[in-house]
Every structure is written in C-alpha cells, then in structure tokens.
Structure 1
Amino acid sequence: MREIVDLDSGSAATIFSFIKIPRDNPREELGMIELENSLSQAIWKMFDGIRVSVSERLGVDEADILLTDARVIGVKIDGNQIINPSGFTGRELEILLALTMVKRDKFIEGKELFEGGSVRAYLIAKETGFEDSIYVEVGDNSTTIFEVTPHGVSYVNNFDWGVAKLTDSIREEFGVEQTTAQGMYERHAGGEVSEHVRKKMDKIFYDTLAEFINGVIIGIKSARNTKNDLPPIYLHTFFPIPEGLHRKRFSFGNKRMRFLPSAAGSDIEVFASDEVHNRYDELNQLARRRIKWLMPTA
C-alpha cells in the first residue's frame, strides 16, 4: 500500500456522493460494457459538478487543482445495494463515488492523498447508513464542519478555533508560559487536578468554548434548515477534552445541542484499507484510468 497523506480542507477536497445514471433498457441485464460506460458518466458528472465549488473553496484557479483519486464505494440498482451489479436488471444505476481533488502545490507523486476530515465524516456516515448528521473536527487552530445526508458527505465551513485558544486562555489567566499552560490543560482534561482547580479550569474551558459553540451554530445554520429537529452532531478532537463535555447540552435557539463522540478508530487508514475497494477492484482500476484521461497531469 502506498503511503497515505492526511491533508486539511484548505489543501484538498475528498467528496463522497451518490451519482444516479438512468438506464436506457431497464429489462436488459447489466453487462460490463454498460457498467464501465455508466461509471465513466458518473465520474464526469460528479467532477463537472464540483470542480468550480472546490476551486473556490481551496482558493485557486481550476487549472491549479488536480483530480488525484476516484474510487467506487458502493453500487445500487433501483435503490438496492448490490455487491456485483453485473447481470441485474433495473431502471436506475446509482454509484457512490469518492473523488479527491488536490491543490497543485500540495500534490505528492506516488502517495495516496485525502481530505482527512471528509474521510472521517464518511466513516461515520457508513456506520449510520448515511442518516442526516453533522461532523465537527477540531485541531490545534481550526474547526472544520461537514454535513452528512442520504446524498453523500459535503464540506460546510471552517473557522479559527482550536486547542490553542484554550491554552492561551489558561496562560493569560495564570500568567504562565505556553508549555506550562498546555500541561495544565492536559491534566485538567484527564481529570488529574484537585476539585478546587477543576472548578476554576472548568470555568476557563467553557468560557473559551463559547466562541466554538457559536461557530458551530453558524456553520449548521448555513448548511441546513434548523427549524426542524437538529441531527446528531459528532465531535472529533485531536487533543483530549474533559469527559463532561459529551454530557453537556448547549443552547441552539429554542433547542438543545449535544456533541456525540465520534467512532473510535475512524481514520483514513481504515478507509484506505477497506475491503470494499477490493470488492470493486475492476471498477476502481477503470476509475483510475478515467481520471488520467480527465486530467493527464495528475
């Protein structure tokens, strides 16, 4: 297996989407030639539909984006999941595709490149059957939000808030060096402080968290109609968080919002080694040939 590179949402876009291809002769059995033609149509249809929005999101011209990966994740006929679609009849073929587009200056020859946050959102979608949900990922300095729907996984937005905000607040409150503040936060998150210190640290944590909560609310409102019930909201952080956070409810207008822990082990290595890629190996080989035709420089 080639080395896997986890890129941020400002460097790459991995898009998961169900693409529907109507069949001209629904009563005829689906053969390999038709399947290959349908896959080519699906890749082009998806690529053509996302390249403008991806270039805008990544902040570069379309000419500076490379289509580096295309793979089949699933196939349905008339809404029914099929492992091997050859020989089936039906009106409509539906292909779940994952396309990855990377900024030219982030491309690395010979490595598998993915937008890590989108892949982790997909792994949650896979477990929940693509039920409506929100996936929130927090790093050192930024938060990224993804939306999961029955149609696929899509990027929502990104805003400046990460663990650095928490350690900065601790540093300012206690007048300590940054490394000391980081150690204090980690002990607090791990429950390794006295009750007196915990209460003071909790206040700092939740006061600083208010900016994060507001950013998440703005992101969710931009993605969906919040007049309806809120979908499950999954939270993944690349740093420890106090245990009580997942039990706490936060105000969202007249609703209450709760962050659910994301599935353990949801990472891009899990996705890259998924047996589904072997199941659709022949189609994936074709998909890789098609992206070279669409974008030879990739």
Structure 2
Amino acid sequence: GIAGELVKGATTTITHTRKQPRQKITESELRDMIAHVQAQALEESRKDLAWETGHSAIDVKLVNSAIVNVRIDGYRITNPIGFQGTHVDVSIYNSFAPIVHLGAIQTIIESLELHLLQVAAEPYAVSRCLGTEASTDLSGIFIDIGGGTTDIAVVRSGGLEGTKMFALGGRVFTKRIADELKVSFQEAEKLKLEYTAEKLESEKRDKIAAIVARDIEVWLSGVELTLEEFSQGKRFEDNKLLPPQIYLCGGGSKLPEIQAALKTKNWAKELPFSRHPDIDTLHPNKIVTLTDETKKLIDEAAITPMALGNLGIELTGAESVLDSVMEKVMASLTV
C-alpha cells in the first residue's frame, strides 16, 4: 500500500460516440477507448504534480489502475463487449506517484526477498473493502486517518470518483501533546492511546481533550476543502451532491473528537450534501471477505491492512473480461 500527498488518484471519464451504433462493441474497440482514457489521465496527473511541487519535469509512474464504470446510453454494463449502442462512457481510476517513491518500495521488497503482487493506493483499497465490482449501489465517503496523512475516497453508485490526501494525521495530535506537556513523543503517543481507550483519570483526560481540540478544527478544515474539490470535479457535473454517508477508519479515527467534529452541522453546510452525513466507523467484522483467526484485528487501525489483503484476494481470483482488456492496454502503454 502506498499513500501520501504526492500519490494522485482520480477517475477519468470519456464519452465515446460510436458512428455505427448497431454494430456490437468488440474487444479492439474497447481497447482503443481505454487507451484514450489512460493517455489523458497520465497527462493530467503530470500537470497536477508539476503544479503542486513546482517541478515541471516530474517523473511519475502508474501505481494502479481499474475500470470502475462502463455505461452504454446511460445503462451501467458489467462487460460491454457484444453490446450495441451510441454513447459509451468509460470511467477508469488511476493512481500515480513520483517514480522515486516506487523505487524505494521495490528496494525494500527485494531486500526482504518477497514477491510484489501489486502496489495499490491505500484509499483505493479501503474504498473497495465493503463491496466487490458487482456492488453498484454502494455510495459513501471513506476517510482513513493514518499517522501522517488523512486519505479520502468518494464512491458513488459503486463507482470510485477519486482519492485525495492531505498531510494531517494522528502524529500531529501526538506532537501537540508532546509539546504542550513537555514529554517525549513516545510518552505522548502512549497518553493519546490511553486517552482514546478512556484509561486516564479525569484531570489528565480533560487536559488531553483541550490540547487535541486545537488541531481538530484544522483537520476538519482539511476535510471540508478536500470534499469541496471533489464536488467541483468533472464527474460531478451531472450530479453535484456528495454521498451523505461517511465511513471512518485508521488509528487516528479512534479520537472521540474526530467523530464529534464530523457530527457538527457547521462544517458541512457549504458542501453539496442532500442532508447532514451519517458517520459510521469501519470495524474488521465489516470486511466479510476476510476472517481473522488470530483475533488480533480488533479496531479501526486494522482496516487499511485488511483492505489491502482484500485487494490481494481479488487479484488472485478469476480475471474478468474488463481486467483482461485493461492488462493488454497497459502492456502497450509506457506509463
């Protein structure tokens, strides 16, 4: 799994108008559509990273890619080959990262003498952990609060809209506690964990709560700005409403102030929700494809590694027609 501010994930959609709608769609025609999407996605990702880093010639590499939606004349289709129609919409999720990041992962894998099945953007894996490719009704906002970053993925009607990240995670709260209480980072982390587990005496608990509250507003602003970017994206042109369901995971989500902040109505009033979003926490028992025989995966912090495991199971399963076509396209492209 890979994450971070410079890991860019987005869903690119093209609408292909067929000149001969009565003819059945062939694999060759579908390959051409996918190749067009991929070329456009790579160029957009390079521009985004160049703008954010200030380096115009930044070298990026495709991390992972998946077809998330295919529609023919407005109807969602699992496998378009053999269908007829005029307008074909193909949506593909791609995540890109600077090549130096991926090189570091490859070095670690080789030193451990392991086989690399696939590199995947962590928010992409988390967004898929509640359903499969056949899940067409799943909609929600997945917020994974890790140590260094908060990763956000938006899924609507089974299709992944995109993933975004910002550099504010659990370690920010730990560092604030360490600075305010004049203790080591390790001691501050221990206090934070005891606080979330409600193991501190009332006086110390109140002190930690006051310290954490100072950074919660900044974190909430990050969530608001990120979701605002999603609502202004190309895929929201027809329906600008965000899914009114938020799923939380990651070790940082155990802070009670996180849920409390998201449940306040003020932060979401300027965002395009049909109603104030419901807040739900993802627990390991909600990932039905995995069984924890160790009994050690007990809380929100286990969701991301479990989601990556779930993705690994998908990769070792039977390959779909769309996956097969995608592989052929990727083999012909240099990204």
Q: TM-score, normalised by structure 2?
A: 0.68
Structure 2 residue matching 1:29: 3-state secondary structure: coil
Q: What letter corresponds to residue 261 of structure 1 in structure 2?
A: T
Structure 1 residue matching 2:248: 3-state secondary structure: strand
Of 120, 137, 142, the match for 1:114: 120
Ranked by relative contact order (alpha carbons within 8 Å, sequence separation 6 or more), the top structure is 1
| 1:261 partnered with 2:300 | no
Structure 2 residue matching 1:164: 3-state secondary structure: helix
Distance in 1 (CA, whole Å) between partners of 2:66 and 2:176 is: 44
Decide whether aligned partners of structure 1 residues 37 and 78 sit closer, same or farther in structure 2, where only a CA change above 3 A counts.
same
Decide whether aligned partners of structure 1 residues 51 and 293 sit closer, same or farther in structure 2, where only a CA change above 3 A counts.
farther
Of 24, 30, 39, the match for 2:25: 30
Deviations 1:161-220 (A, max 9, x none): 322232233334433332222111111101222344433333333233222223333333
Of 158, 173, 178, the match for 2:166: 158
Of 199, 203, 208, the match for 1:192: 199
Decide whether aligned partners of structure 1 residues 18 and 171 sit closer, same or farther in structure 2, where only a CA change above 3 A counts.
same
Structure 2 residue matching 1:273: 3-state secondary structure: helix
Contact 1:9 1:117 in 2 (8 A): no
Distance in 2 (CA, whole Å) between partners of 1:199 and 1:63 is: 47
Contact 2:169 2:252 in 1 (8 A): no
Of 217, 233, 252, the match for 2:267: 252
1:89-104 equivalent positions in 2, closer than 5 A: 89-104=84-99
Distance in 1 (CA, whole Å) between partners of 2:121 and 2:280 is: 22
Contact 1:73 1:277 in 2 (8 A): no
Structure 1 or 2: more strand by fraction: 1
Distance in 2 (CA, whole Å) between partners of 1:277 and 1:60 is: 40
Match of 1:237 in 2: 250
Contact 2:13 2:37 in 1 (8 A): no
Decide whether aligned partners of structure 1 residues 58 and 283 sit closer, same or farther in structure 2, where only a CA change above 3 A counts.
farther
| 1:211 partnered with 2:211 | no
1:51-70 equivalent positions in 2, closer than 5 A: 51-57=46-52, 60-62=55-57, 64-70=59-65
Of 7, 13, 20, the match for 1:12: 7
Q: Which runs of 5+ in 1 are unaligned?
A: 1-5
Distance in 2 (CA, whole Å) between partners of 1:222 and 1:215 is: 11
| 1:288 partnered with 2:295 | no
Contact 1:12 1:102 in 2 (8 A): yes
Structure 1 residue matching 2:51: 3-state secondary structure: helix
Of 74, 80, 85, the match for 1:79: 74
Distance in 1 (CA, whole Å) between partners of 2:77 and 2:10 is: 21
Match of 2:287 in 1: none
Distance in 2 (CA, whole Å) between partners of 1:216 and 1:285 is: 36
Decide whether aligned partners of structure 1 residues 102 and 254 sit closer, same or farther in structure 2, where only a CA change above 3 A counts.
closer
Contact 1:135 1:234 in 2 (8 A): yes
Q: What letter corresponds to residue 161 of structure 2 in structure 1?
A: V
Decide whether aligned partners of structure 1 residues 97 and 214 sit closer, same or farther in structure 2, where only a CA change above 3 A counts.
closer
Distance in 2 (CA, whole Å) between partners of 1:73 and 1:228 is: 19
Match of 2:311 in 1: 271
236-245 or 209-218, larger mean C-alpha shift: 236-245
Decide whether aligned partners of structure 1 residues 145 and 242 sit closer, same or farther in structure 2, where only a CA change above 3 A counts.
closer
1:286 shift after superposition: 3.9
Give aligned pairs, total.
287
Of 129, 132, 144, the match for 1:137: 144
| 1:21 partnered with 2:2 | no
Decide whether aligned partners of structure 1 residues 130 and 230 sit closer, same or farther in structure 2, where only a CA change above 3 A counts.
closer
Distance in 1 (CA, whole Å) between partners of 2:254 and 2:39 is: 42
Decide whether aligned partners of structure 1 residues 140 and 63 sit closer, same or farther in structure 2, where only a CA change above 3 A counts.
closer
Distance in 1 (CA, whole Å) between partners of 2:253 and 2:160 is: 29
Decide whether aligned partners of structure 1 residues 60 and 128 sit closer, same or farther in structure 2, where only a CA change above 3 A counts.
farther
Distance in 2 (CA, whole Å) between partners of 1:246 and 1:136 is: 11
Query: In angstroms, what is the RMSD of aligned CA positions?
Result: 3.8
Contact 1:68 1:291 in 2 (8 A): no
Q: Which runs of 5+ in 2 are unaligned?
A: 107-114, 233-239, 271-275, 285-302
Match of 1:3 in 2: none
